[in-house]
């Protein structure tokens, strides 16, 4: 049984849901924090109530209501998305373990479950922030959001790094994955210490990592040794 074939199937669902998220999500905001260009990414890395109000606009207004509705819709769909990408990472890790006979690849599968929990908690904070934007103090939600967001994004980087031992023996494509994985981790570390356009680059690099891993699973799906 070639587990990379099943990784490809789950990876295809990740791509499909990604397209849905891209289409359904807010395409603009009233005012983004400095360095950000994507409303969804900006919201995940938001830090203060003022930034939240700048992002959506001040209540009550039709524009603010519309932006909140689009963002909430995206975050609700994201609960399905997180299940899809967790399944992909878990099956991909299992395929690496089967191919090498190494238990090391239990590690990325376990971290994927931690990331799933953090992503769910992150979404809950985001929904709580939008629901209480005009009625309550959201400082505690913002504090928890910062923690869960970085557990999620940081966890994904750690997963990519933990796959490097497998990629070493997979030719030029494996070496490309190693380079992109290292660049993703370095960008993420820089973004953690200096929130800026680096956060957008980090998010984009993470998306790129998913794409090349999904392509890799597609290329390996007919390999009899896996």
Q: What is the pLDDT of residues 168-223, one digit of tens each?
A: 999 999 999 999 999 999 999 999 999 999 999 999 999 999 999 999 999 998 88
Tokens (6 digits) for 118: 């953090």
Q: Under a CB-based contact definition with an 8 Å cutoff, are residues 36 and 45 in contact?
A: yes
71, burial (CB in 10 Å: exposed 0-12, middle 13-18, buried 19+): buried
Q: What's the pLDDT band for 152 if we cut at 50, 70, 90?
A: very high
> Above 90 in pLDDT, residue 92?
yes
Residues 6+ apart with CB under 8 A from 214: 7, 8, 11, 12, 14, 15, 88
Query: Coil, helix or strand for 46?
Result: coil
Question: pTM score, two decimals?
Answer: 0.94
Tokens of 5: 């074939």
């Amino acid at each position: 049984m070639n587990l990379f074939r099943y990784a490809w199937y789950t990876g295809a669902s990740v791509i499909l849901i990604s397209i849905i998220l891209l289409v359904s999500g807010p395409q603009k905001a009233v005012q983004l924090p400095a360095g950000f260009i994507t409303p969804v990414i900006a919201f995940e890395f938001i830090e203060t109530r003022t930034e939240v109000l700048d992002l959506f606009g001040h209540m009550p207004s039709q524009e603010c209501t519309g932006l909140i509705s689009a963002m909430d819709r995206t975050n609700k769909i994201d609960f399905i998305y997180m299940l899809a990408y967790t399944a992909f990472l878990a099956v991909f890790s299992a395929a690496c373990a089967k191919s090498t006979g190494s238990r090391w690849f239990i590690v990325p599968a376990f971290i994927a479950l931690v990331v799933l929990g953090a992503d769910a908690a992150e979404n809950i904070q985001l929904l709580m922030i939008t629901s209480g934007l005009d009625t309550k103090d959201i400082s505690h939600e913002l504090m928890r959001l910062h923690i869960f967001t970085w557990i999620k994004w940081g966890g994904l980087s750690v997963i990519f790094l933990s796959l490097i031992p497998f990629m070493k023996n997979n030719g030029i494509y494996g070496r490309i994955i190693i380079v992109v994985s290292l660049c993703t981790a370095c960008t993420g570390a820089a973004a953690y210490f200096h929130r800026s356009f680096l956060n957008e680059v980090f998010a984009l690099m993470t998306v790129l990592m998913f794409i090349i891993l999904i392509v890799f699973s597609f290329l390996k799906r007919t390999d009899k040794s896996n």
